[in-house]
Amino acid sequence: MIKQDKGIKLGDNIKGIYGFEGTAKISRPLVGMKIPAGFPSPAQDYIEDSLDLNEFLVPRPSSTYFVRVDGDSMIDAGVFSGDILIVDRSLEAVNNKVVIAVIDSELTVKRLKIDNDRYFLVPDNKDYPAVEVEEWMNMTIWGVATYVIHKL
């Protein structure tokens, strides 16, 4: 985690950052069965429980932020321009996680790849190059993306 830095700027693919205010419960019925994505099965009319989206999507409210994405460098990960990422700043950034990184005071969203003590920020779009994090670079992991929200 990094300390709050007023010098951080939104990068080319970050449109905005929003804090989480979990004051209202958003509880909806949860159907107690898995829905097949193939052929339909006979309907089962029962509700298993209620699901509070705050509890499901934001287990650590004090370290959770919403980040609006701008650009197409992560489309192969299912992250599109205008989507909202739920980012947890308390999680450890490990290999293959989608992270929000600060490079030279600018935020960006990329996949973290670690290979033999070498770190790479890799876009999930073949049209963009990966960036190897060199020792001379000023790079910090700001948070780890846990969910993406977008319209179908």
Per-residue pLDDT of 110-141, as tens digits, reads 999 999 989 999 999 999 999 999 888 888 99
Residue with tokens 């205010």: 21
8 A C-beta contact, residue 60 and residue 88:
yes
The arithmetic mean of pLDDT across residues 73-97, rounded, is 94
List, by residue number, the catalytic residues.
Answer: 73, 110
Query: CB of 12 within 8 A of CB of 81?
Result: no
pTM above 0.75?
A: no
Domains detected in the chain: 9-21+59-149 (2.10.109.10), 27-57 (no CATH)
Q: How far is CA 42 from each of CA 4, 10, 35, 36, 124, rounded to the nearest angstrom?
A: 53, 49, 10, 11, 38
Q: Which residues pair with 87 in a beta bridge?
A: 65, 145
